[in-house]
Structure 1
Amino acid sequence: MHQQLLINLVGWAGAATLVLAYALVSTQRLVGDGVAFQAMNIAGAVALTLNSAVHGAWPSAVLNVVWVGIGAVAMYRLARRSRKAAQQVAEQAAERELAAPSGRVSGQVRVAAFSTAIRHLLIPAMDRLAREHPGVVCSITEMEGAPALRELRRGVLDLTITDRDASLGLESRQQVSVVPLREDPYRVVVPAGWPPVHDYGDLADRPWIAGPPSSTTGQVLERLGRQRSFTPRRAHVCVDYPAVFALVAAGHGAAITPDLALRGIGRDADRLRVTDLPGPGARHLDVLVAAGREGQPAVEALLAALRKVAQ
Structure 2
Amino acid sequence: MDVRRLELLLALSRLGSMHAVSDALGVTTSTVSQQIAALAKEVGTPLIEPDGRRVRLTPAGRRLAGHAVDILAAHEAARADLDPSAEPAGTVRVAAFHTVIRDSLLPVVAQLPPAVRLEIQEQEPPEALALLERDQVDLALSYDYNLAPAAVDRALESIPLWESTWSLAVPSRSRRTTGTTADVLAAFADSDWIVNSRHTADEHVVRTLAALAGFEPRITQRADTLQLVQEMITAGLGVALMPATYPKTTGISLRRLRTPEPQMRAYALTRRGRTDWSPLSLVLSLLTRRAR
Which TM-score applies when normalising by structure 2? 0.69
Once the two structures are superposed, what CA deviation does each residue of 1:186-216 show, in whole Å capped at 9, x if it has no partner?
2111112222122222212222222349522
Using a 3 Å threshold, how does the CA distance of structure 1 residues 201 and 306 change in structure 2: closer, same or farther?
same
> Which residue of structure 1 aligns with residue 47 of structure 2?
none
CA distance in 2, matches of 1:88, 1:273: 49
1:225 matches 2:217: no
Using a 3 Å threshold, how does the CA distance of structure 1 residues 252 and 287 change in structure 2: closer, same or farther?
same
1:216 matches 2:197: no
Using a 3 Å threshold, how does the CA distance of structure 1 residues 87 and 286 change in structure 2: closer, same or farther?
same
> Which residue of structure 1 aligns with residue 42 of structure 2?
none
What is the percent sequence identity of the aligned residues?
A: 23
CA distance in 1, matches of 2:95, 2:76: 22
From 167, 173, 177, give the equivalent of 1:193.
Answer: 173
From 79, 82, 85, give the equivalent of 1:101.
Answer: 85
From 151, 157, 164, give the equivalent of 2:131.
Answer: 151
Using a 3 Å threshold, how does the CA distance of structure 1 residues 146 and 244 change in structure 2: closer, same or farther?
closer
From 277, 282, 287, give the equivalent of 1:306.
Answer: 287
Shift of 1:220: 0.7
Contact 2:142 2:267 in 1 (8 A): yes
Using a 3 Å threshold, how does the CA distance of structure 1 residues 80 and 118 change in structure 2: closer, same or farther?
closer
1:111 matches 2:57: no
Contact 2:125 2:199 in 1 (8 A): no
Contact 1:107 1:135 in 2 (8 A): yes
**Count of matched residue positions in the alignment of Structure 1 and Structure 2:** 229
1:85 matches 2:66: no
> Which residue of structure 1 aligns with residue 140 of structure 2?
160
Shift of 1:135: 3.5
When you count strand as a share of all residues, which structure comes out higher? 2
Contact 2:185 2:209 in 1 (8 A): no
Using a 3 Å threshold, how does the CA distance of structure 1 residues 223 and 108 change in structure 2: closer, same or farther?
same
When you count helix as a share of all residues, which structure comes out higher? 1
Using a 3 Å threshold, how does the CA distance of structure 1 residues 112 and 203 change in structure 2: closer, same or farther?
same
Shift of 1:144: 3.2
Contact 2:186 2:214 in 1 (8 A): no
> Which residue of structure 2 aligns with residue 289 of structure 1?
270
1:271 matches 2:254: no
Contact 1:112 1:143 in 2 (8 A): yes
Which one-letter code corresponds to 2:127 in the other structure? P
CA distance in 2, matches of 1:295, 1:217: 33
Contact 2:195 2:219 in 1 (8 A): yes
Using a 3 Å threshold, how does the CA distance of structure 1 residues 188 and 217 change in structure 2: closer, same or farther?
same
CA distance in 1, matches of 2:251, 2:101: 25
Which one-letter code corresponds to 2:66 in the other structure? R
Contact 1:224 1:280 in 2 (8 A): no
> Which residue of structure 2 aligns with residue 25 of structure 1?
none
Q: Secondary structure at the match of 1:101?
A: coil
Shift of 1:293: 2.2
Q: Secondary structure at the match of 2:147?
A: helix
Q: Secondary structure at the match of 2:99?
A: helix
Q: Secondary structure at the match of 2:166?
A: strand
Which one-letter code corresponds to 2:237 in the other structure? H
CA distance in 2, matches of 1:251, 1:170: 31
> Which residue of structure 2 aligns with residue 64 of structure 1?
none
Q: Secondary structure at the match of 1:203?
A: coil
Instruction: Please provide the CA RMSD for this pair.
Output: 2.7
Which TM-score applies when normalising by structure 1? 0.65
Which one-letter code corresponds to 1:101 in the other structure? S
Shift of 1:121: 1.6
Q: Flag structure 1 segments of 5+ consecutive residues without an equivalent.
A: 1-72
CA distance in 2, matches of 1:105, 1:236: 45
Which is greater in Rg?
1
Which one-letter code corresponds to 2:281 in the other structure? E
Q: Flag structure 2 segments of 5+ consecutive residues without an equivalent.
A: 1-57, 179-183
Q: Secondary structure at the match of 1:270?
A: coil
> Which residue of structure 2 aligns with residue 47 of structure 1?
none
Contact 2:148 2:204 in 1 (8 A): no
Using a 3 Å threshold, how does the CA distance of structure 1 residues 234 and 246 change in structure 2: closer, same or farther?
same
CA distance in 2, matches of 1:212, 1:223: 18
